[in-house]
A = this chain, B = another copy of it.
C-alpha cells in the first residue's frame, strides 16, 4: 500500500531550500540506522556476541557519505514530488554499499575504512579479546563477509518494504538487479586486474566505471528516476550526467589515494603503499619517459614480500614529474563541465526542473572536489 505519512506534508520543501540536502541525508541515515537495529534485533540477538556485532555494523553504516541514496532520491525528485516512501526505498542503497565495502575490504585486506579499523579487523580483535581458539583473522574475514551478505539482503528488503506501490517498484527492479550484478562482476574484474600485468588506461577506466562510478552516481540516479516514471529523455540526461560525475568522483579518489592528506594534514599515499594500478598511476606510466616508466613498473610489479615497503615520497615525485596529475585534473574538470552543461541543457529544454538541477550541479562539484 502506498501511504504517505504526515511527514510528507511537514517535510515538503523544494530542493532549492538551503537545508534540503542535509535534511534528506539525515532522514536516510535515520532509516538506515533503524533498519540495521531492527534486523539485528530480529536475527542476530540470539547469537553470542550479538551486541558487539550489531554495534560494529550500526557504527559502520552510520559513517557513510550517503552519496548513493542522495543520487537515488535526486533521480526520483527529477520526475516526481517529495515522497517519504521513495526516500526509504533509496536508503537501501547505503546497505548495498555497506555490503560492497565490507567484502571488498576483506578481499583487499584493508586495515582502515571510514577513519576506523575495517570491520574484519574489529571482529578479529574481538575474537582475540575473547580468548577463543582458532584464527582471529579467519574469523574476522568470514564474519565480515557474512555481515556483508546480510546487508545485501536487507538492502533489498528496504526497497521492497518501503511502501512504494508494486507498480513503482517493478520499474526499479531490473535496474537494481543490473546494478548488483555489475557490482560483483566489477569487483571480480578488479581481482583479475590486480593479479596480472599493468593494465592500460582504458582497462582501468572500464573497471572504474563499472565498479565504482556507475554504482555511485549513474545507477542510483537511473533507479530513482525509473521508479518515478521518468521520460526516456530525462533518463538519458541523468545517465550521461551520472557517467561523467561518477568518473570524476573515481578519478578524484585516485588523486587522493596518492596525493591526499588525512584529517591531520599528513599525506597518505595509500594507493602507492598498496601498489594499486589506479588511473593516476597508469596515466603516469603512459606519459612517462623510459626511466620514470621503469621506476613506476617496479613500483607496480613489486608485490613480493621481499620488496619491502614502497618509497611513497619518491613514487609521488615520479608521478608528478610526468604531468599525470595535471592531466587527470583536466580530465576531471572536463567531466564536471560536461555534466553541468547537460544539466543546463535539460533545464533549457524543459525536461528538468531548476530546483533539482541546482542540487545536481552542487553534487557534481562536490563529487569532483571532495571538499566535504
Contacts and interface: CB of A to CB of B under 8 A. Distances in A.
Interface string A177-199: 10011101101110110111000
Given A107-B145, A149-B103, A134 B195 contact: yes
A47 B188 CA distance: 8
A194 B136 CA distance: 12
Nearest to A206: B46
A196 B136 CA distance: 11
A44 B157 contact: no
A266 interface: no
Nearest to A179: B153
A150 B48 CA distance: 29
Number of copies: 2
Interface string A134-170: 1000110011011101101110110010000010001
A39 B146 contact: no
B187 A146 contact: yes
Given A107-B142, A133-B196, A149 B184 contact: yes
B195 A127 contact: yes
A191 B49 contact: no
A303 B134 contact: yes
A301 interface: yes
Contact of A180 (B53, B132, B153, B160): B153
A297 to B, nearest CB: 12
Size bracket, chain A contacts: 35 or more
A10 interface: no
A316 B127 CA distance: 31
A177 B153 contact: yes
Nearest to A167: B166
A173 to B, nearest CB: 6
Contact of A43 (B39, B142, B182, B196): B182
A42 interface: yes
Contacts of A48: 189, 192
Contacts of A157: 177
A185 B133 contact: no
Interface in A199-224: none
A171 to B, nearest CB: 13
A181 B153 contact: yes
A43 to B, nearest CB: 4
Contacts of A145: 103, 106-107, 145
Contacts of A49: 192
B303 A133 contact: yes
A126 to B, nearest CB: 11
Given A43-B185, A133-B195, A139-B195, 5 more contacts: A44-B185, A132-B195, A134-B194, A146-B187, A150-B184
Q: Nearest 6 CB-CB pairs, A to B?
A: A107-B142, A132-B195, A134-B195, A43-B181, A149-B184, A153-B180
Interface of A: 39, 42-44, 47-49, 53, 99, 103, 106-107, 127, 130, 132-134, 138-139, 142-143, 145-147, 149-150, 152-154, 156-157, 160, 166, 170, 173, 177, 180-182, 184-185, 187-189, 191-192, 194-196, 301, 303
10 contacts: A42-B181, A43-B181, A47-B185, A107-B142, A130-B196, A133-B301, A146-B184, A150-B185, A153-B177, A156-B156
